[in-house]
Amino acid sequence: MTENGIINISLAILFLPLLGFIVTLLLGKKIKSIYLFEILIISVTLIASIAVAFGKLSYFVDNKIITEIQWFRLSDTISIKLGFLIDNITVLMLFVVSLISALVHYFSIAYMKGDERYNRYFAYLGIFTFSMNGIVLTHNILMMYIFWELVGLSSYLLIGFWFEKKSASDAGKKAFIVNRVGDIGMFAGILILYLTYNTFSFEQIFSSIAAGKLPFNSNFWLTITGILLFMGAIGKSAQFPLHVWLPDAMEGPTPVSALIHAATMVAAGVYLTIRIFGLLTADAMMFVAIIGMLSAFIPATIALTQNDIKKVLAYSTVSQLGYMVMALGVGAYKFAFFHLVTHAFFKACLFLGSGSVIQAMHHEQDIRNMGGLRKKLPLTYATFLISSLAISGIPLTSGFLSKDGILAGTFAFGSLTGYWIFAVVGFLVALLTAFYMFRLIIITFHGEPKDLHKYEHAHESPFVMAMPLTVLAMLSVFIWYTPNPLNADQGWFFNKWINSPTLSAPNETRFNFMKSEEVKEHNSSTTEITYSEVYTEAMHSAHYPAMFLSLFVAVAGMLTAFVFYQWKKVDVEKLANSIKPLYNFSLNKWYIDEFYQKTFVAGTFGLSRVLGWFDFKVIDGIVNGLAELTRKFAFFVGAFDRVVVDGLVNLTAYISGFVGLIFRRIQTGKVQTYLVLVIFSIIILLFLFKA
Amino acid sequence: MNNFPILSFLTFLPILGMVIVLILPKRQELSIKVTTLVITGLQLVLSIILLMNYNYSAGGINDANSFQFVEKFTWINIPGFSWIGNIKIDYFMGVDGLSTPLVLLTAIVTFIATISSWSIDKSLKGYFAMFLLLDTGMMGVFVALDFFLFYIFWELMLLPMYFLIGIWGGPRREYAAIKFFLYTLFGSIFILLVMIGLYFSSMETLANGSKVFTFNLLELMNPNNYTATGILSPLNPNNLRFIAYIGLFVGFAIKIPMFPFHTWLPDAHVEAPTAISVILAGVLLKMGTYGILRVSYPIFPELTYQLSWFIALFGMINIIYGAFCAMAQKDFKKLIAYSSISHMGYVLLGMSALNTMGISGAVLQMFNHGTITAMLFLIVGVVYDRAHTRDLDAFGGLGKQMPIYTGFVSVAFFAAIGLPGLSGFISEALVFLGGFGSQTTRILAIISTLGILLGAAYMLWTLQRVYLGQLNDKWKELTDLTAREYFMLVPLTLIVIFLGVYPSPMLNLMNASVNHMVKLINDAQVFYSSIHSF
């Protein structure tokens, strides 16, 4: 396979789902079975992505394949380009996205059966896959923003797929708008990058930074740029404080939740952070780590008390994404990506499993009405259990490897910088995760059925639904990533595929342990930039302590769940009542939604009403007032004209008329009268002059 | 091709159509409609021919030699007497990268508005005669290169618009029509005064070497043409150029419409019939921003440079204020009208950046907003024709009842929101890149990005209120799109998608002129600062 071959297949991977979208959407009304075309397309895409991954990892494992074309130009110096950057992370992501997308397609064949907009649903899955693959393949930040918005669109369409439901259309709108808040930050970051580097290309930006060119020539602005770009990730990966849209997004069909809101799209924020990792300064990384830590912790505490099976999983997703983000913040770059991959599989499995449960229970989502389902849904139970073990970090699962790596990373970070808080929160979240996952499993699958009627009618899902569950559960086992179930470092995933990131932020802005050691290569002036040995060693020495500790907290969390819900040694109701304020705080999601509703949403609407009023009453009022004034003035001028000017004219005329009237009498036309008058006049005159 | 006066045909073809319509008997309704359709169709064909013969490398702006399809001859020439001198007005037309996109836009939007006018049933003859006269006025403004000619077309368009709103409009049509007429006329006075001031301040050198006062826009752009004492001459230390610039700007700003001169627009839109709203928002608003770029910028480059921050400020206010006002509306059409105000703010912001990206973005946004907002008004028209109400709260669930229509709605709405893949994104992104690229407008551009968020908020909220949710039983009878409505929405949708995916054809058309404009303003900076020190 040649590089061109890889590029061409990648092109196919990108555009095939778009073709599927267009065909399925346009013919959806006419041809009932057109969804099969989309199924075919996604299957081909999956095969192609396997081919690309295979080709890239076998033949070009150390290469970055970059290709670009001009999109449009404005002048000789301004040319906007589109292009691919294909490295190992790209092909692995392509595989993950295509695989989960394909599995969700198959799962949906049965799950969505009978929906009145069946074909349109598959069309939307097509445009999602297209957009997501675009994010994965892009070599520049503008193109990433473009596909970033397009996944936002597909997410909007799929969350609000059952748009007759107000809650669904509300959730779609909320997701889009909340994401846009983050996107504005990301866009501002893009503006700074373009202004500084005159390009959107990651590679060119990094090499310019490495060459010492900085936004507004300051390290501070490099930090700000990093944080602004990361804001996009806060939105898309539902990180605190923009996480509020993700739980609501559960209004969408459950397979969609698995694909978009658990495995792939929400991981795009992590992917973005991975792509821009090279330009993050220590301050920016600290910001990332804090956001990740809060996002890991807060939703984990909320997940403890939720009763909707999908809500528990949604908060768990935010929490796990927080792990990945925190991992990036503390420099555990490889493990962040590793956790992204493993989480994608086990979380997709959990969501599809919840879909299987919901389907079996006739659209019941409240776990308090379930129970004992393991007998009715043995396969769903088994796969759900495996994935739960993975997310809890129990050995032999993939999640154990990746989570252990992240925790070791926070451990190493603590020992190197003294910021132990990330490690503390990391382990605490691991404890909470194990607890709420097994709480979910025990209440749903163990014990006695609560709703007998629904329980009686529950039955295991058909093959198209069972198969994806099985595949995903199998992928949650360690063997796919490393031969050593306790140490991922020795597997191909780490040794061969995922390399340490190349850092380009100036040395003085980095954490001490990330400062580069300049290794001058002979006959070239380039410097190899690597992590310091210190970090590798710290990771190494943190590995076993972290592993045992994480295993301990995971088991502790599980056991607590069993004590509470299986063996019922503790009265949960009583416990909840004794810590009522805390319990309510968790149940009500820390009141964050209420807070936003009362401040930002109400504020925006309030301001819009005020400005609307201002526009109507004041601005338009002035216009109308001026018009009125002009009319009044015109009326006054008219009156003046009529009364005074015309009055004077009329008065003159009147006076002349009056005078005429008087003198007319004199003008009799009789000569004798005139004669008499003349004589009288003369006499009077003579009389007057005599004096 | 070279000798064919294509611009005159483009401009006066509708007048011919008007004559035919006036001759046709009143009862021949179909013939009247078909005549208009054929005329506007021909106009569209002509504009496409123009596009096919267009030379993409010619800059135009102030360079008479690189204007294309030029028609120039002396129109009015009164021999000089006393101090007034020779009165010389040229019939001077030509296009460059600034006007060609708008000529094309006018042709497209007018053609589609003709189809939309099919449902007019009140005194057809008068309507279509006025409609065609309006068409001539609009086209004339975009191709005229003589200020006097430009002004004539500018005013010519007022009259038919007044009648079209005042006679064929909604319940408060008379109020809206008078408001529109007086407001625009008010602005025109400033333009007229500046035009006369410029006329007496600059001299054009004729072929025989004699110098005469001139209305020729290109001559007015040449700083060497100004007399030493003219009131608008930069050479005159006591010149009134600053006041003239503000006056001219206000004259054009009313048309955009720019805050605080915008309140005529919502009223005009609400009362105007759908087709006229489409033209109003699609073409007429662009005349304001076009006027600024065509007249104010190259004739007063030094003031443009000095005042660019204020232009950006008003752009920002338009974007954010318009968005907030849109959010507060209850009338569907009024909401779209305010969204127009918001989106025209991007044009102002882009042009204030005075760099390639900003001005490209501004001109592209003019075209894109023209097509997108035309779609939006057609969409409101579709639902109003059926439901006879535009109250946003009266609807809900139309997506289920009218799925195909809702598909078009989604494209238009998301284009207005600036979703990538649709045309609005490219122009908005360029506006922001340009605005951020200029040091003067940087902070205002950053604040304006709030518009992206607010735009999404009010558009999606509207989408939800009208198209999503449960269907109101009242609207069970509503039918999906008719063939005629398809015919209006499909071409616009294709344009919006095409230019969103591949904007090059439109950008290539503009590039030479935009770069020329940027160079002109930067060069002028040097020139003018050599005369006075600002």
Paired tokens of A670 = 């009789």
- Using the Cβ of A30 and the Cβ atoms of chain B, whether some distance falls under 8 Å is answered with no
Which residues in chain A have their CB less than 8 angstroms from residue B179's CB?
623, 627
Which residues in chain A have their CB less than 8 angstroms from residue B507's CB?
72-74
Q: Which amino acid is at A199?
A: T
Residue range A673-686, pLDDT digits in tens: 788 888 888 888 88
- Cα-Cα-Cα-Cα dihedral sign, residues B145, B151, B153, B154: positive
* Measured CA distances, B4 to A624, A641, B47, B75 (Å): 48, 56, 13, 19
Is the per-residue pLDDT at B504 higher than 70? yes
Q: Mark yes or no for CB contact A181/B453 under 8 Å.
A: yes
What is the share, in percent, of chain A residues with pLDDT greater than 90? 53
Paired tokens of B163 = 């009648």
Q: From CA B416, how far away is CA B460, in angstroms rounded?
A: 10
Q: Where are the alpha helices (DSSP H) in A502-645?
A: 533-561, 572-578, 580-587, 592-596, 602-613, 620-640
pLDDT: is A389 or A645 the higher one? A389
DSSP bridge pairs for B71: B93
Partner A, chain B 106-125, Cβ-Cβ below 8 Å: none
Q: From CA A407, how far away is CA A434, in angstroms rounded?
A: 15
Q: Which pLDDT score, from 0 to 100, does residue A516 have?
A: 67
A357 near A444, Cβ under 8 Å?
yes
Paired tokens of A159 = 């969350």
| Rg of the Cα atoms in chain B | 23
Is the per-residue pLDDT at A321 higher than 50? yes
Q: From CA A418, how far away is CA A421, in angstroms rounded?
A: 9
SS3 B88: strand
Partner A, chain B 197-256, Cβ-Cβ below 8 Å: none
Is the per-residue pLDDT at A132 higher than 50? yes
Residue range A273-311, pLDDT digits in tens: 999 998 999 999 999 999 999 999 999 999 999 999 999
Q: Mark yes or no for CB contact B425/A164 under 8 Å.
A: no
Is the per-residue pLDDT at B2 higher than 90? no
Which residues in chain A have their CB less than 8 angstroms from residue B356's CB?
74-75, 78
DSSP bridge pairs for B73: B91
Q: Which pLDDT score, from 0 to 100, does residue A36 have?
A: 93
E strands present in B128-216: 203-205, 211-213
Q: Which pLDDT score, from 0 to 100, does residue A436 have?
A: 93
Partner B, chain A 178-237, Cβ-Cβ below 8 Å: 180-181, 183-184, 187-188, 191-192, 194-195
Neighbour-count burial for A567-593, b at 16+ CB within 10 Å, e otherwise: eeeeeeeeeeeeeeeeeeebeebeeeb
| Tokens 């190992």 belong to residue | A88
Q: CA of B282, closest CA in chain A: separation in Å?
A: 23
Q: From CA A614, how far away is CA B474, in angstroms rounded?
A: 34
Q: From CA A7, how far away is CA A562, in angstroms rounded?
A: 51
DSSP bridge pairs for B95: B68
Q: CA of A323, closest CA in chain B: separation in Å?
A: 28
Is the per-residue pLDDT at A518 higher than 80? no
- Residue A494 DSSP label: I
Q: Which residue of A has its CA nearest to B509?
A: A74
Q: What does the CA dihedral B170, B171, B175, B177 come to, rounded to 10 degrees?
A: 20
- Cα-Cα-Cα-Cα dihedral sign, residues A194, A200, A206, A207: negative
B35 near B21, Cβ under 8 Å?
yes
Q: Determine the average pLDDT of the residues in A78-87.
A: 92
Neighbour-count burial for A193-217, b at 16+ CB within 10 Å, e otherwise: bbbbbebbbbbebbbbbbeeebbee
Paired tokens of A512 = 């001490």
Q: Mark yes or no for CB contact B356/A74 under 8 Å.
A: yes
Neighbour-count burial for A120-152, b at 16+ CB within 10 Å, e otherwise: bbbbbbbbbbbbbbbbbbbbbbbbbbbbbbbbb
| CB contact set of B36 (below 8 Å; sequence gap of 6+) | B17, B21, B114, B117, B128, B131, B132
Residue range A245-281, pLDDT digits in tens: 999 999 999 999 999 998 899 999 999 999 999 899 9
What is the share, in percent, of chain B residues with pLDDT greater than 90? 68
Is the per-residue pLDDT at B212 higher than 90? no
Q: CA of A221, closest CA in chain B: separation in Å?
A: 15
Structure confidence at residue A485 as a pLDDT band (50, 70, 90): confident
CA angle A127, A132, A138 (to 5 degrees): 120
Residue range B465-479, pLDDT digits in tens: 999 988 888 888 888
SS3 sequence of A113-149: CCCCCHHHHHHHHHHHHHHHHHHHHECEHHHHHHHHH
Which residues in chain B have their CB less than 8 angstroms from residue A619's CB?
259-260, 262-263
Is the per-residue pLDDT at A67 higher than 50? yes
Q: Mark yes or no for CB contact A191/B446 under 8 Å.
A: yes
In DSSP notation, B5-19 reads: -HHHHHHHHHHHHHH
Pairing status of strand B68-81 against strand A527-528: unpaired
Q: pLDDT averaged over chain A?
A: 88
Residue range B339-382, pLDDT digits in tens: 999 999 999 999 999 999 999 999 999 999 999 999 999 999 99
Q: Which residue of A has its CA nearest to B359?
A: A74
Is the per-residue pLDDT at A548 higher than 60? yes
Structure confidence at residue B526 as a pLDDT band (50, 70, 90): confident
**CA A512 distance to own-chain centroid:** 32
| CB contact set of B296 (below 8 Å; sequence gap of 6+) | B245, B248, B249, B252, B304
Is the per-residue pLDDT at B208 higher than 80? no
Which residues in chain B have their CB less than 8 angstroms from residue A623's CB?
179, 183, 263-264
Residue range A88-108, pLDDT digits in tens: 899 999 999 999 999 999 999
Q: Which pLDDT score, from 0 to 100, does residue A520 have?
A: 47
- Residue B438 DSSP label: S
Is the per-residue pLDDT at B415 higher than 70? yes
Paired tokens of B130 = 């006025």
Q: From CA A229, how far away is CA A190, in angstroms rounded?
A: 7
Report the 10 Å Cβ neighbour count for B205: 14
Structure confidence at residue A327 as a pLDDT band (50, 70, 90): very high
Is the per-residue pLDDT at B84 higher than 70? no
Q: From CA B27, how far away is CA B29, in angstroms rounded?
A: 5
pTM over 0.90: yes
A126 near A36, Cβ under 8 Å?
no
Q: Determine the average pLDDT of the residues in A29-46.
A: 92
Is the per-residue pLDDT at A631 higher than 90? no
SS3 A199: coil
A258 near A104, Cβ under 8 Å?
yes
pLDDT: is B76 or A185 the higher one? A185
Q: Which pLDDT score, from 0 to 100, does residue A418 have?
A: 87
Q: Which of B74-83, B404-413, B426-435, B522-531 has the lowest mean pLDDT?
A: B74-83
- Using the Cβ of B180 and the Cβ atoms of chain A, whether some distance falls under 8 Å is answered with no
Q: Which pLDDT score, from 0 to 100, does residue A362 have?
A: 85
Q: Which residue of B has its CA nearest to A200?
A: B433
B202 near B233, Cβ under 8 Å?
yes
Q: Determine the average pLDDT of the residues in B188-206.
A: 88
- Using the Cβ of A491 and the Cβ atoms of chain B, whether some distance falls under 8 Å is answered with no
CA angle A8, A13, A19 (to 5 degrees): 110
Q: Which pLDDT score, from 0 to 100, does residue B245 have?
A: 94
